[in-house]
Amino acid sequence: MANELSLKYGCNPNQKPSRIFMQDGGELPIQVLNGKPGYINFMDAFNSWQLVKELKEATGLPAAASFKHVSPAGAAVGTPLSDTLKKIYFVDDLELSPLACAYAKARGADRMSSYGDFIALSDTCDEQTAAMIAREVSDGIIAPGYTDKALEILKGKRKGNYNIIQIDPAYTPNPIERRNIYGVTFEQGRNELKIDGNLLNEIVTDNKNIPDSAKQDLVLALITLKYTQSNSVCYAKDGQAIGIGAGQQSRIHCTRLAGNKADIWFLRQHPKVLNLPFKADIRRPDRDNTIDVYISDDYMDVLADGVWENFFTEKPEPITREEKRAWLDTLSGVALGSDAFFPFGDNIERAHRSGVEYIAQPGGSIRDDNVIETCNKFGIAMAFTGIRLFHH
């Protein structure tokens, strides 16, 4: 290890020189095992590593994250996948270790956004996880270690240039962090807040019942938000994020964006989607794009005669708005975390439409009564955590 690593350029090719280094003169906590990670790659790597490390500590389960532009597209823990999820994540032909399950769910939450992602794994990358990653379009990976076979597989990606970073899991950063903006140095204490089920004790709604499975999902959502560009909202279900809204200027836009992603995740499980007659040679990214078009309201315009033949063996029957709404109405048990308080009940109205039954948010709005009243209207259980999770 060294205390400095020169990079090709910064965020953009014109931003030179560029490097990462340790201000205190110590050694970098990482080794580059393959490729040449860039400035944004390392930003994704370090943010995503913190997320999966905390998820593993909070749940005891292996964790994975899929990052794009310094926010997670997906995050998950390694619980088993249903046959339906295996199919929509395109992993029904693979042997899945717990860690591979975690990445399949992290990647599968929002496959459109995860295209070209940076991956973080909480545990040593095994052969099964590497085999899955080898089939996906990805920029790189960070993990505390790699088996020999996994490293061999990953080094074969991107014509041998796949970015592979190994991080020292024992590394502890300085409790004071600094950054420069416009030549001015900012300094603050690191956000070392521990997120666990103890943050969910103040339940302010009539419904006080938050089962352990929902508590795990709420903890997952809150840890995910801790490393998501603010404003941010995260929907979670069965050990994975299913919709993340990041970097929006208003809370309702976060809730809508994340809710729309959660809806797409669930609509991908609709029988009509599962039975789409794709041609055998269609690539996974093309399937993802086509499924998104099929689910959209303008499907008939986009996949008109002369176009659908490029993807399907026969023209599929459209899925109507009424069918989509009826299917979404069966979605339930979704957990929702917010990095700051909800200022209006409209966020709860929108969340309810995507099956949300459990919410964790800081509280503290002058309109808390309205938000609580809206939760009570739908029988939603909501906990006030008392903590904000802004990340910039």
CA–CA distances in Å: residue 72 to residues 66, 129, 318: 6, 19, 32
Residue tagged active-site, from 53, 68, 261, 270: 68
End-to-end CA distance of the chain: 29
Residue tagged active-site, from 69, 155, 272, 391: 69
Is 253 known to be catalytic?
Answer: no
Residue 67: name the closest of 130, 120, 135 by CA.
120
Q: Does residue 215 contact residue 197 with C-beta atoms inside 8 Å?
A: yes
Q: Does residue 164 contact residue 32 with C-beta atoms inside 8 Å?
A: yes
Kindly give the residue spans of alpha helices, DSSP state H, lying in 167-315: 212-226, 251-267, 271-274, 284-295, 299-302
Residue tagged active-site, from 41, 163, 231, 347: 231
Is 392 known to be catalytic?
Answer: yes
- Rounded Cα distance between 61 and 338, Å, is 23
Is 347 known to be catalytic?
Answer: no
Q: Write out 323-348 in H/E/C secondary structure.
A: HHHHHHCCCCCEEEEECCCCCCCHHH
How many Å separate Cα 271 from the centre of its chain?
Answer: 25
Query: Can you read off the two tokens belonging to residue 102?
Result: 């975690």
Query: Can you read off the two tokens belonging to residue 164?
Result: 């592979």
Residue tagged active-site, from 159, 180, 198, 392: 392
- Rounded Cα distance between 147 and 88, Å, is 28
Is 69 known to be catalytic?
Answer: yes
Torsion angles phi and psi, residue 104, rounded to 5: -60, -40
Strands (DSSP E) along the chain, which ranges? 4-7, 18-21, 30-34, 63-68, 71-77, 117-121, 138-143, 163-167, 176-181, 184-189, 232-237, 240-246, 334-338, 356-361, 381-384
Residue 328: name the closest of 238, 267, 265, 237 by CA.
267
Torsion angles phi and psi, residue 192, rounded to 5: -95, 15
Q: Does residue 261 contact residue 334 with C-beta atoms inside 8 Å?
A: no
- Rounded Cα distance between 288 and 88, Å, is 9
Q: Which residues are catalytic?
A: 68-69, 231, 392
